[in-house]
Amino acid sequence: MTTQKTEQNALMTTTIRVLKEHSSFVYFIFEASEGVAFYSTKEESAGMPYRDVELNHTPEFHDAVMGILNKLSENFPIEYLS
């Protein structure tokens, strides 16, 4: 897994792939974790059985984002794309 860092002290982007049926739960968890990260679904995954989700966050919240993803991966598979 690699996380892209756009600039020093700027946003970091982590892209994951989850099955479509699990994507709404991922969205819900990050909505509930207000301020940790914001997300967007990559259009390329529309119509596919999965969703590619970009999570954007500051370096200060990287550990929190990874902790959330690690906890979610105990319930369903998460593929790290970047």
State the average pLDDT over residues 55-80. Answer: 97
Domain extent at residue 73: 4-80
Residue reference for tokens 């984002």: 65
What CA–CA distance (Å, rounded) separates 45 from 32?
A: 24
This prediction has a pTM of: 0.86
Rounded to 5 degrees, what angle do the CA atoms 70, 77, 58 make? 40
Integer-rounded Cα radius of gyration of the chain: 12
50-57 vs 12-19, strand pairing mode: antiparallel
Q: What CATH number does residue 46 fall under?
A: 3.30.70
pLDDT digits (tens, 9 = 90+) for 9-59: 689 999 999 999 999 999 999 999 999 999 999 999 989 999 999 999 999
Q: What per-residue confidence (pLDDT) applies to 3? A: 59
Domain count for the chain, please give it: 1
